[in-house]
Amino acid sequence: MASSTRNGETHEDEIRLWREDGWWVAEDVETGVTTQGETREDALANLDDAVSLHEGDVGREPTPEELRELGVDPADNETGDDEPPDVLD
pLDDT score recorded for residue 45: 95
What is the C-alpha to C-alpha distance for residues 71 and 38, in angstroms, rounded to an integer? 33
pLDDT score recorded for residue 55: 86
CA–CA distance from 63 to each of 28, 58, 59 (Å)?
A: 30, 13, 12
Element of type H or E holding 36: strand 34-37
Q: What is the pTM of this model?
A: 0.56
CA–CA distance from 40 to each of 19, 25, 29, 30, 54 (Å)?
A: 9, 8, 17, 20, 21
pLDDT in tens, the chain (89 residues): 455 556 666 566 899 999 999 999 999 999 999 999 999 999 999 999 999 988 887 777 788 898 889 888 888 766 666 676 677 66
What is the C-alpha to C-alpha distance for residues 10 and 29, in angstroms, rounded to an integer? 14
pLDDT score recorded for residue 60: 74
pLDDT score recorded for residue 6: 60
Element of type H or E holding 66: helix 64-69
